[in-house]
Amino acid sequence: MREQRVERYRLGMERRVEMRSVPRIGNGQENRVGACGDSGVDPNQIQIASSRNLTNSDLKLDAGRWYHVAVTFESGNVKVYLDGAEKCSGNVGTSSVNFGVAHSDESDGKPRCFWIGYSYASDRYFDGQISEVRIWNKALTPEEINAPDHFYQVAAASDGLVAYWKFDEGAGTS
């Protein structure tokens, strides 16, 4: 991961996901970039959880299929794209996101830090695969999201790219 701070008021986040089954995932707290099946939402439906949850039925995922998910955030205004098509947008009631929270055990009121595919309870897990996770310090445009081969790879030196996990090792436990 490059040493560069993500601007708190504008960001983009992308990932490719494939669910093996329809789980209940999330972290049970506000300011999640994405979760499925929490707070009365269908277990296969993405939601952006903050002081105002953002979701709709266009964000339902089918098990066994890969999706490219892109989320843009600009001063509280969020857009969610599935496979390059904008499926949901709105204001989530918070004007900033902070990925700079130090890692901790999150006990005794410590703020939640950034996790990929993790939840606070062992029965709330993501049963699937995650690939190509990227964090940008800008809100990507529809043209950038839909650029040739963008769903599958980007250049590590891309303008505004501050973190990039390919998850292409093929095997492992961490």
Please give the Cα distance from 86 to 100 (Å, whole number).
27
- Which pair of tokens denotes residue 23? 């789980």
What pTM does this model have? 0.81
Contacts of 113 (CB under 8 A, 6+ apart): 101, 102, 103, 104, 106
Residue 93 banded pLDDT, cuts 50, 70, 90: confident
State which amino acid sits at residue 95: S
Helix (H, G, I), strand (E, B) or coil at 144: helix
Q: How far is CA 80 from the centre of its chain?
A: 10
**Residue bearing the bigger pLDDT, 141 or 109:** 141
